[in-house]
Amino acid sequence: MDYTAPQWDASALLVIDVQRDFLDEGAAPIAGTAQVLDELRLLVDGFRAAGRLVVHVVRLYTPGDSDVDLPRRAAVEGGLNLVAPGSPGSQLVPAVLGDRYADLDSAALLAGKPQPLGAEELALFKPRWSAFHRTGLEELLRERGVTTVVVAGCNLPNCPRATLFDASERDFRTVLVTDAVSQAGPERLADLVGIGVGLATSEEVLAGLPSSL
């Protein structure tokens, strides 16, 4: 039995850190993120059509807060305004969400509550790199019978990579969408294959989904 092969009819899409501050004109642009927005929109639409869960995972840094990952802690404690709660730069990207776009409810998200965006679609705050660290993500996935986690977004060396490692060690089957994530490269992809992460294009993922577009 192949315990790593994706089970598309029990999959969920995690869109990581696709927020305005990380686009080309944002406060902390991540190269390549704006260039994968079209693929991200296709994935989101496909998972919606298949009735599968979509989770938009976000960062929120409250200026002056010390509960921040170490590389940015000093800057945020000093008042850095990056994906600050309620700021335009913290918001999701309309081009990805389409008619389900809504401003983030920062207070609820920071309190650990998922924000519904539509049927089987929500936003979720994570305080560190991994979408599983100090969040209710695992419970959300288990409740819906999800066995396969599909990851896309911004940017592979950090949050998508940490999320994939944590998903794998929780015995989820894992897939990285290679043309819908920024900062991917051969060495980084090879590292993920080594822990059983499947690599697929957005076209391949959509072809596997039941009733996809």
Strand, helix or coil for residue 169: helix
- 174 — pLDDT class (breaks 50, 70, 90): very high
How confident is the model over 95-154, as pLDDT tens digits? 999 999 999 999 999 999 999 999 999 999 999 999 999 999 999 999 999 999 999 999
CATH homologous superfamily of 8-208: Isochorismatase-like (3.40.50.850)
pLDDT, residue 211, reads 73
Strand, helix or coil for residue 166: helix
pLDDT, residue 91, reads 98
Q: Can you tell me which residue has the tokens 């977004």? A: 153
| Mean pLDDT calculated for residue range 54-75 | 97
- Which phi and psi (to 5°) does residue 92 adopt? -65, 170
How confident is the model over 69-80, as pLDDT tens digits? 999 999 999 999
Which residue, among 47, 4, 50, 12, has the nearest Cα to 139 in the 3D structure? Answer: 12
Both tokens of residue 43? 């994935």
For the chain, the domains span: 8-208
Is residue 200 within 8 Å of residue 177, measured between CB atoms? yes
Q: Can you tell me which residue has the tokens 């969408």? A: 177
Indicate if the pLDDT at residue 212 is higher than 50.
Answer: no
Amino acid at 2: D
Which residue, among 187, 139, 170, 184, has the nearest Cα to 16 in the 3D structure? Answer: 184
Which residue, among 161, 153, 101, has the nearest Cα to 128 in the 3D structure? Answer: 161
The count of other CB atoms within 10 Å of the CB of residue 1 is 4
The overall pTM is greater than 0.95: yes
Which residue, among 180, 39, 197, has the nearest Cα to 188 in the 3D structure? Answer: 197
The count of other CB atoms within 10 Å of the CB of residue 107 is 10
What's the chain's average pLDDT? 97
Q: How far apart are CA 8 and CA 188, in angstroms?
A: 24
